[in-house]
Amino acid sequence: MNQPLKVCFLKRFLKQKGGLEKQAQLIIDKFASFGASITLLTEELEGTFVHETILTKKCQGLSFQKVLNFNTQTQKFLETQKYDAIFGFDRTVSQTIMRLGNGIHRAFLKEKQKYAPYFIKHFLKNPNDFATLHLEKKAFSHPNLQIVIANSNMVKDELLSYYPLDEKKIHVIHNGVEWKKNGAFFEEGFALDKNDLSRIELLFVGHGFKRKGLLFLLKALSHLRSKDWHLHVVGEDKHRSSYEQFVKKINLDKKVTFYGNVKDSTPFFQKGDLCLIPSIYDPFANVTVEALSFGCPVLSSKKNGGHEVIQPFMGGIIEDLQDDISFAKLIESNMKKKERALALKIRNEVEYLDLSYQLEKLLQLCVNR
């Protein structure tokens, strides 16, 4: 009898919120459904996890020390164990399979620097960045690395531009979405009574407002000529109060609502007329395909890898986040109430990204390597 595939997954945190955590859990579950023997190596776990879990020793030091510590702990553990595959989600070195859900840190820093104040850009250096770059470089040069999974061509191109990795090891698999499941919610959304039949419902969904570009969006909205709209901000940020203060400062406090972290964003996608993703850097924002699966058009920055799946009739691309006027004009040109015919066309265009297809593609890539 064949022995089950033994797979060790490396994920520093496996929590209940966030796109990266959701993707990691789905991938682990897919391997389990294949009959694989699962071990999770993690520093912190939220909720229930039915597979073998090894909690690594935490470090009480500074942030960069904690990043390095998790890698050290995983290496020590793996030296004493044997697995058929080691699947890394985070900044670790020893994996055989690596999924770049966080993207390329060097590319992220390059984009971040564009918008940083002069003092921070030239004088204030974050040791956490140095630690992450150190691990990133070591991971891509590790002899055990067999497969690298990028969730966008943007990330693949960044990887090849910064590190001398064999292109044959890199495979692009876009994030999936529960397309079939969302079909019923899509129909339900058009059957619901709308509070305001003329008001345009704008959506911003994501945690970490700075990287997600919320400030750029708010500045652009302050230039809109149309007054019949409302922005729904779904997600959390530790500096949320400063964003709420800024909204008041630009007199948009009656036009913008902050909801914080919500368990189910379905009602927002059902009523949304336009989804906005002005990310500074996002390997592939899950909200891209989530919105499209509800037939909601999307405006995305070029630095969200998810923009690769957006056809012209499905929304548009934000060319320059700092050009408030052009951004505002782009929003205005796409401010239309969601109509069923176009919404259905948009939804059908992303059927190929159904989560079951994308997870199966990833599984087959890994087990047939």
With bands split at pLDDT 50, 70 and 90, how would you rate the model's confidence at 120?
low
What does the pLDDT average to over 237-249?
Answer: 97
Q: Which two tokens stand for residue 179?
A: 């397309």
User: Which CATH number describes the domain made up of 6-176+355-367?
Assistant: 3.40.50.2000
Give the position of tokens 């071990």: 39
Q: Given a cut of 90, is residue 89 above it in pLDDT? A: yes
What does the pLDDT average to over 23-48?
Answer: 93
Report how far residue 92's alpha carbon sits from residue 67's, in angstroms, rounded to the nearest whole number: 9
CB neighbourhood size of 105 (10 A): 23
CA 28 vs. chain centroid, Å, equals 17
Q: Which two tokens stand for residue 349?
A: 């265009």
Q: Give 182-210 pLDDT, tens digit per residue.
A: 999 999 998 876 656 789 999 999 999 99
Report how far residue 230's alpha carbon sits from residue 290's, in angstroms, rounded to the nearest whole number: 20
Q: Which two tokens stand for residue 157?
A: 């191109």
Residues of the chain within CATH 3.40.50.2000 domain(s) are 6-176+355-367, 179-353
Q: What are the distances in angstroms from CA 39 to CA 56, 78, 84?
A: 13, 11, 12
The CA angle 314-319-324, to the nearest 5 degrees, is 105
Report how far residue 147's alpha carbon sits from residue 170's, in angstroms, rounded to the nearest whole number: 6
Is 179-353 in CATH node 3.40.50.2000?
A: yes
Q: Given a cut of 70, is residue 65 above it in pLDDT? A: yes
CA 69 vs. chain centroid, Å, equals 25
What does the pLDDT average to over 316-334?
Answer: 98
Q: Give 37-59 pLDDT, tens digit per residue.
A: 999 999 988 877 888 898 998 88
Report how far residue 317's alpha carbon sits from residue 258's, in angstroms, rounded to the nearest whole number: 24
Collapsed DSSP state (helix, strand, coil) of residue 170: strand
With bands split at pLDDT 50, 70 and 90, how would you rate the model's confidence at 1?
very low
Q: How many percent of the chain have pLDDT more than 90?
A: 84
pLDDT at res. 283 = 98
Decide: 295 and 343 in contact? Cβ < 8 Å: yes
Q: Which two tokens stand for residue 98?
A: 């690596």
Report how far residue 186's alpha carbon sits from residue 295's, in angstroms, rounded to the nearest whole number: 8
Name the β-bridge partners of 170: 148
pTM score, whole prediction: 0.94
* Of the candidate ranges 112-126, 155-169, 209-223, 312-326, the one whose mean pLDDT is the lowest: 112-126
More confident residue, 167 or 263: 167
Report how far residue 359's alpha carbon sits from residue 351's, in angstroms, rounded to the nearest whole number: 14
pLDDT at res. 303 = 98
What does the pLDDT average to over 170-191?
Answer: 96
Report how far residue 54's alpha carbon sits from residue 322's, in angstroms, rounded to the nearest whole number: 45
Q: Give 272-299 pLDDT, tens digit per residue.
A: 999 999 999 999 999 999 999 999 999 9
